[in-house]
A and B are shown apart, each in its own frame.
Chain A
């Protein structure tokens, strides 16, 4: 990987907002992270570890108190709201909850075309991209699905709509925040496959957030363990699972191990 990294965080500190615990506790405390192009990196940690805050910081939706976030060579801090919004069009966030992340009053075709509408693509050029993306995520027959409203779709189908939107957006970076955790297990594999495909077919870099190391290992090339607002371990997926170095990782592994029987 001689190319310059797509994303670089150095010494990032983020304080809790007013809603969080007061008294100077930090949501992120000195995070250094480098993400290379076309890599799938899993951020793994227990709830409250700071994974989501980290994701929001990467997207420039949370401004760090200290430290620097650099996206494709461009520092995010100090950018105007307008410039930041423009840069954000090259990133895409896939949400955990497919029930609330889609506007309930709009049809699938509008929802999938929204990144194009935001980018100012002319209306007649949007339709073909939507058709292609819906077909790719398996929402066929496309002509039926594009006219549906979110409430006419199952949870799995809604998450496919969200992923079709990610395809249409053609982002350099996709942040997927536990995209399968609210879905039934039987639908999980397809969603994870579609997330991987954003890298394999569309060349996106993927940051994948989860609390389950086993899942992280199946999806990601690299695992970054986040605990208490710090990165405690960072390495190739199998390396982290088979030869953990930090005790927090060992603890997570232990929980993951005890959360399952040897199957089938």
Chain B
């Protein structure tokens, strides 16, 4: 029904070399090593240990010796053999119970989540029931009835462990169901079995694997617990039974605890720790967002050492040679390259560009908010007579929100869903004035941006996308900034809302005497509301100038082709123009002009060297070797040729 928040993908995220952060990878390796040790012991038990574990092979209570590495127990059984054979029990019960529990849990989750209806109601009540039962007690009681053999214990443990994964997987199924490719398969007439198995199930795998490890951990501990209480399989030696016998023969009171209690205790600890570490690693792999947090490091930003030239008279913002680079595993990404940009006092500036043009990264760099692992590597951001790059983080934070305000991208996500919009705007206002005054200002401003008083205490989800965008504008304006930077303020809105928001911004600029920098990919829309325009491509400004001249007579082939790709409302019904080729990959830019691979006017000089912005007079500039060429004026690329893969 509503248009979703459209975030044009800006490839600011560097190509991640691995999905898992370094700390998690190291911990995962340690975990795997521990597991390998235990599993190796279990598999090689009969080869490594010379004695059978369940028969008396020497005198009781022997200390460790070359014959009996860990000595013997109260009836002369070899403790080392018991330790190794015990690993078999732990591993097989852990693995068996976990696999069974996951199998049941997944089937239940798919039936409840994907089939839904009565399946969901009945199965989820069963899950609730299973989750409320006291696990250990239940297993203990049931072993009394059903016997104590290992298969029975495995089954019982699985029987209480399936519910947790079932519940988690079901909510994952509900999420996956809403994904586009699931709806697409349904729309193509796929059967529900096909959709469940080929579209839903594969997306559960990450969660399933982390749940599998978790279930195994619990199963190992529960099995050891049962055996320690003396309720385990009497015919099988396990770590739990070793501890049970050690306890019943008062090993703790003698020297014997060192070789009787400690080894099984450590072995159990190693197995559980190994599983936990592996699960930590698997969870991060399943949810890469966790990795960011772990891999984060505070980094000092290098400050320029030379003095900045003073800011030009009559400018609100003057950006010089600004470059932003993302470095995180893989190739560095030059998101912004050597950008000059000026917002003149009293003139609204527009910054247009498509995905990967670096326009959003640039806007964040202006206010010192480049996300990790990006950093400003060069340049000056002159605002109010000082270079924002030289004044330090705390001072930039003070400027931000007071003198310079950013209206962030994506009105859907920028608001806190748990607080009323009034509260959120007032909170911003409290940065500069007392609470009572902040509340009054908030009310006034919300009304000014077109939100009726009756709705000020509603929550973000109760508003449409256009209304939420108004809230963000109010929030930006509440501290009387001199400069407002609006990053894609109309993206994801329909035409009617786009126009209303732009009109609102335009009106506020006049009324409050603000300067405005608007960033957008909607070139025709932007062109109508700004005085000056800059076009970005692959991190560079490739053309700039007063808007009428730039739109009326574009000099860069990209600008010309981009303009031809927007439909005209009243003009002749003709084909829209295309821009051949694919958007630039910022980590593999060509040596010469970055538009050269897509450019119909490309010449030998374009691939040899990089064109810089050249002044063309009247405040205009373009970075192209054929900027004065008349070929640019008649450029048009037929989409049919591009569609067939034969660009001119």
Contact = CB atoms under 8 A, between A and B. Distances in A.
Q: Do A and B bind each other?
A: yes
B287 interface: no
Q: Which of A169, A188, A242, A258 has the most chain B CB atoms closer than 10 A to its own CB?
A: A258
Contacts of B1: 20, 27, 47-48, 50, 52-53
Interface in A71-105: 85-89, 91-93, 95-97, 99-105
Interface in A11-59: 20, 27, 46-48, 50, 52-53, 59
A48 B464 contact: yes
Nearest to A89: B189
Contacts of B565: 185-186, 188-189
Nearest to B637: A189
Contacts of A253: 569
Q: Which of B188, B525, B578 has the most chain A CB atoms closer than 10 A to its own CB?
A: B188
A192 B567 CA distance: 11
Contacts of A256: 495, 569
B189 A258 contact: no
A53 B2 CA distance: 10
A193 B551 contact: no
Interface string B563-583: 111111110011111110011
B181 interface: yes
Contacts of B185: 114, 118
B568 A251 contact: no
A192 B639 contact: yes
B9 A217 contact: no
A61 B569 contact: no
A211 interface: yes
A4 interface: no
A6 interface: no
Nearest to B3: A47
Contacts of A237: 573
A185 B495 CA distance: 15
A46 B498 CA distance: 11
A205 B565 CA distance: 25
A217 B354 contact: no
Contact of B643 (A47, A103, A169, A197): A197
B40 interface: no
A99 B228 CA distance: 53
B524 A260 contact: yes
A194 B13 CA distance: 30
Interface string A108-135: 0000001100110000000000000001
Interface stretch (B96-104, B166-174, B554-562): B554-562
B570 A241 contact: yes
Contacts of A95: 180, 183-184
B495 A99 contact: no
A241 B645 contact: no
B497 interface: yes
Interface of B: 1-4, 6, 8-9, 179-181, 183-191, 194, 198-199, 202-203, 354-355, 464-465, 493-499, 502-503, 521-525, 527-528, 547, 551-552, 554, 560-570, 573-579, 582-583, 639-640, 642-645
17 contacts: A47-B2, A47-B493, A50-B1, A89-B188, A95-B183, A101-B180, A139-B645, A155-B9, A156-B583, A182-B8, A184-B8, A186-B565, A189-B575, A217-B573, A259-B522, A263-B524, A263-B527
Interface of A: 20, 27, 46-48, 50, 52-53, 59, 61, 85-89, 91-93, 95-97, 99-105, 114-115, 118-119, 135-140, 154-157, 169, 178, 181-182, 184-190, 192-194, 197, 211-215, 217-218, 237-238, 241-242, 251-253, 255-261, 263-264
